Amino acid sequence: MTDARVGTLPAVEDDHVAGVITDRDLVVRAMARGLSLQVRVEALMSTDPITVEADTPFPAAMHAMGTIDARHLPVVDNGRLVGMISFDDLFWFFTGQRVVKGDHPTSRPPSRKLGHSTHFAHSPHARD
């Protein structure tokens, strides 16, 4: 995650989002508990993640992020993962400016705009 400069990754099973794992999950759930480096992602990931449909408007995605205090959300199309949206993507969309930390931008321009209907869902295939 550090090498790729990402803070959140989706955990996918059969093309559906089963959970998400963050850099914070790795620190709090693994390192702080002294877990083995061989621990499986499913033991550390947050399950039943909030997702947004690919046609969700950006303001609604931002609202969803604020509601759950997240900086990233999985984007799905008919339940299948198609990407991730980040707070930095939303910032870029609204301001036209990239977020910069140190010498490196933290996000790229969104690859496409989200559409017009709002739909937030818990993944139907999340683990308990």
What's the domain count of the chain?
1
- Residues 80-103 have pLDDT tens digits of 999 999 888 877 777 776 655 555
> Does the residue 1 lie in any domain?
no
> Does the residue 74 lie in any domain?
yes
- Residues 12-71 have pLDDT tens digits of 998 899 999 998 888 888 877 888 878 888 888 989 889 999 999 888 888 898 898 888
C-alpha pair distances (Å), 2 with each of 13, 23, 56, 110, 111:
23, 8, 29, 21, 22
| CATH number of the domain within which 37 lies | 3.10.580.10
> Does the residue 2 lie in any domain?
no
> Does the residue 91 lie in any domain?
yes
Token representation of residue 42: 């499913």
Range of the domain at 92: 8-122
**Prediction pTM value:** 0.69
